[in-house]
Structure formats: structure tokens, C-alpha cells
Amino acid sequence: MDQQPVLTPEGYEKIVLELEHLKTVRRREIAARIEYAKSLGDLSENAEYASAREEQAFCEGRVLELEDLMKNAIVVKHSVNATAVNVGDTVTLESSGKEFQFQIVGANEADPTQKKISNESPLGQALMGVKVEESVVVDTPRGKIQYTVKKIQ
């Protein structure tokens, strides 16, 4: 890994829960599917068996990925009196007379549909360390856009 992954406490908790689910529930479900597929007979032409084995490989790969993430991640604590934008902060921005609100999260937690943007995205990178009433210009597919930080919480 080039850079340590960054997670909010909420993001870390989601990973813990997903890992627990994969190790307990999903592993049992997949094992049951494999056993059922074996009971169908010839494994060389058994699509159900092949599918269950693929799912098992995916599940085990995800378990390894999550364990590695948990081992290497930096969990950032949200600062109540933040004076500059950092991971974990919710930022209110103004651009062209409109206000936007985003939470800055690590790349593994980013979900623009939930207004969670990565600290590694162009906007996230530009905002890191910026204070209230300071502006940044971000190069976007639609051109350069200026954002002014209105609130950090």
C-alpha cells in the first residue's frame, strides 16, 4: 500500500460489521450451497457447484481485503471545534450562490449519493486544511469551479 487508508469511526464500524457477517452468515450459506451442489452428482458439469465455489472465492477475497483494511487503516476522530477541513468533517460550501454540504471521508467510505466525498477526490484534496471563508478552485469536467467554505462541523 502506498498510503495508509483513512476511515471515520463510522466507516470502521461498517467494516467490522461486514467482516463479521461474511465470516459467520455468508460462509455458512456458501458452505450449504456447496454441499447441496455436491449432492447433485458429477462436479465437472455442475454449474451450481461452480457458482458456489466462485462465490466462496469472492467472499474469502473480501474477508482478506477487509482484514487488511482494518489492520492498516488510520481511524480519524472528528474534531468538535475544527478550524480547518479534515477527514470526518461535514463541510458546507458555497458556489455560484448555491450551498452544498458534504462529509469528507476516506476513499473506502466515499459515496457521493450519500454526500460523502473522498479526501482523495479533486474536491476533497482541495478542501483539506482550508478554513471557514477561504476559497478553493477545483478543476472539474465542467471546468474550474470556485468553492467557499461556509461552515465546518
Position with higher pLDDT, 54 vs 40: 54
Residue 143: strand pairing partners: 140
At 77 the pLDDT is: 83
Residue type at 65 in one-letter notation: E
Cα 26 from Cα 36, distance rounded (Å)? 15
Q: Using CA atoms, how far apart are residues 145 and 94, in angstroms rounded to an integer?
A: 11
- The answer on pLDDT for 74 being more than 90 is yes
Per-residue pLDDT, averaged over 11-36, amounts to: 97
Instruction: Give the three cell numbers for residue 99.
Output: 450551498
Distance CA 116, CA 83 (A): 20
Mean pLDDT in residue range 33-58: 92
The string of DSSP codes covering 64-100 is: HHHHHHHHHPEEPPPPTT-SB--TT-EEEEEETTEEE
Asked whether residue 1 carries a pLDDT value surpassing 60, the answer given is no
Question: The C-alpha cell of 129 is what?
Answer: 486544511
Percentage of the chain exceeding pLDDT 90: 86
Q: What are the respective helix, strand and coil percentages of the chain, to the nearest 5?
A: 45, 25, 30
Q: pTM of whole model > 0.85?
A: no
